[in-house]
């Protein structure tokens, strides 16, 4: 609404780097926070009375985007439509920076090369029209050795904002005798059970080449300044191995001991916000994110498979006494920004981007984003946003 004009957000409970202040005024101009003061001066006013004024949410791992591309098995939608609709969901849930987690696998279909190449092209075209600052989180299946050359080129060209190493092939080998477990794989690849089994067997024979490939990709990512994550670390020794190759984010470690090793290294550790909101993981073998947070073993929450979970997860942690709301909000704002080297956001302070979410936390109702501001522009305004944000 305001474009680059000077205005001030007043009347809310503002989360500043040192904690909440009820009388702080956030002054915005040219897309940035220029001042945090006690009065507005001549600035136009956005009335945030009764609302929380919080840094915009930074989502590092949103693989729900795959369902935007293929909402039903074998049913694909235009990538521009998927990006546009996802963008609306993101800002309506207070997410102002998003990393779409898209897997590049040896599988054909949804996770094949055509999808990831098409998405990169579509994202380049869509970015000027998107409200949320949107990036690519490339989830590399480590047995996809034929894709290594592609990824090396994309890293060098700056096409990848976050590189994650996934290793689901051994798990698929264990599950292939269970028709129920294999159904999802068959549906997204459009292969028959026999075709998929034959492909899986061929891929598995290349296990001895995987480690060297990971090392080459990790070195290329480090040279390009691209942050790296290992996904589903099963044990402490796995995290130690990835630490040795400068992969310094641990996504969804499988055990408490693994998360503890990651924190000993100073790694950021990501768990899912849905895990917090639901009171535990949907996978019985996984640890509870709230327990990891209480133990200091979780530093970042991500949307994972459900965008609306991030905002209420922070409030749930505070309500349950796991940590303060300020510390809980850092899990979805300051910490993820720091984890991937985004120094210009995640906090409300002079000189940083004006990425802000106004939140209503009414008694008896889930907390919700009333308005989202990205780079100083109001990109979402819901019921109760007031006349200046309508």
pLDDT digits (tens, 9 = 90+) for 311-352: 999 999 999 999 999 999 999 999 999 999 999 999 999 999
Determine contact, residues 388/358, Cβ cutoff 8 Å.
Answer: no
- Cα angle value 181/187/189 (rounded, 5°): 110
Q: What pLDDT digit, counting tens, does each position of 63-75 carry?
A: 999 999 988 877 8
| Phi–psi pair at 388, nearest 5 degrees | -85, -10
- The model's confidence at residue 30, banded by pLDDT at 50, 70 and 90, is very high
d(CA 31, CA 379): 12
d(CA 316, CA 89): 21
Q: What pLDDT digit, counting tens, does each position of 271-317 carry?
A: 999 999 998 766 655 789 999 999 999 999 999 999 999 999 999 99
d(CA 70, CA 76): 5
What is the SS3 assignment for 224?
Answer: helix
Question: What predicted TM-score, i.e. pTM, was given to this entire model?
Answer: 0.95
Question: Which of 19, 59, 18 lies closest to 272, judged by CA?
Answer: 59
Residue 353: CA atoms inside 13 Å, Cβ hemisphere, count? 24
Span between the terminal Cα atoms of the chain, in Å: 9
Taking 80 as the threshold, does the pLDDT of residue 367 lie above it? yes
163 against 77, higher pLDDT: 163
Structure tokens at 50: 């009764």
Taking 60 as the threshold, does the pLDDT of residue 137 lie above it? yes
Q: Which domains occur in the chain, in start order?
A: 7-54+346-381 (2.30.40.10), 55-339 (3.20.20.140)
Percent above pLDDT 90 for the chain: 82
Percent above pLDDT 70 for the chain: 96
Task: Say what the pLDDT of residue 247 is.
Answer: 98
Taking 50 as the threshold, does the pLDDT of residue 2 lie above it? no
The mean pLDDT of 237-242, rounded to a whole number, is 98
Residue 340's CB is within 10 A of a number of other CB atoms, namely: 21
Average pLDDT, the chain: 93
Beta carbons within 8 Å of 218's beta carbon, 6+ residues apart:
165, 228, 245, 246, 247
Task: Say what the pLDDT of residue 285 is.
Answer: 56
Q: What pLDDT digit, counting tens, does each position of 203-231 carry?
A: 999 999 999 999 999 999 999 999 999 99
Task: Say what the pLDDT of residue 171 is.
Answer: 87
d(CA 354, CA 335): 17
Task: Say what the pLDDT of residue 183 is.
Answer: 87
């Amino acid at each position: 609404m305001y474009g680059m004009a000077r205005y001030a957000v007043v009347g809310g409970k503002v989360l500043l780097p040192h904690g909440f202040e009820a009388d702080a005024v956030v002054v915005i101009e040219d897309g940035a926070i220029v001042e945090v003061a006690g009065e507005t001066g001549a600035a136009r006013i956005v009335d945030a009375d009764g609302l929380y004024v919080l840094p915009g949410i930074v989502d590092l791992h949103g693989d729900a985007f795959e369902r935007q591309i293929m909402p039903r098995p074998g049913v694909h939608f235009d990538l521009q439509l998927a990006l546009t609709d996802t963008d609306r969901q993101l800002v309506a849930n207070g997410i102002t920076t998003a990393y779409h987690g898209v897997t590049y696998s040896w599988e054909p279909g949804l996770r094949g090369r055509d999808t990831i190449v098409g998405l990169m092209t579509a994202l380049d075209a869509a970015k000027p029209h998107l409200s949320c600052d949107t990036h690519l989180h490339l989830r590399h299946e480590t047995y996809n050795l034929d894709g290594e050359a592609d990824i090396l080129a994309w890293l060098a060209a700056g096409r990848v904002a976050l590189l994650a190493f996934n290793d689901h092939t051994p798990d698929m080998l264990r599950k292939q005798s269970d028709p129920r477990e294999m159904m999802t794989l068959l549906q997204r690849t459009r292969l028959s059970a026999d075709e998929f089994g034959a492909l899986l067997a061929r891929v598995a024979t290349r296990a001895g080449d995987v480690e060297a490939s990971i090392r080459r990709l990790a070195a290329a990512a480090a040279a390009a300044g691209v942050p790296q994550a290992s996904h589903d670390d099963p044990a402490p020794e796995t995290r130690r191995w990835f630490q040795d190759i400068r992969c310094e984010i641990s996504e969804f470690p499988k055990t408490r001991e693994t998360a503890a090793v990651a924190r000993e290294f100073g790694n950021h550790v990501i768990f899912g916000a849905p895990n917090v909101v639901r009171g535990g993981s949907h996978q019985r073998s996984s640890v509870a994110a709230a327990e990891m947070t209480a133990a200091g073993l979780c530093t970042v929450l991500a949307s994972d498979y459900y965008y609306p979970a991030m905002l209420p997860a922070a409030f749930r942690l505070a309500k349950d006494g796991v940590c303060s709301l300020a510390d809980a909000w850092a899990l979805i704002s300051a910490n993820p920004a720091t984890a991937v080297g985004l120094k210009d956001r995640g906090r409300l302070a002079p000189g940083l981007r004006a990425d802000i979410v106004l939140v209503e936390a009414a008694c008896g109702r889930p907390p919700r984003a009333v308005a989202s501001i990205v780079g100083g522009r109001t990109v979402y305004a819901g019921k109760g946003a007031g006349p200046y944000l309508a």
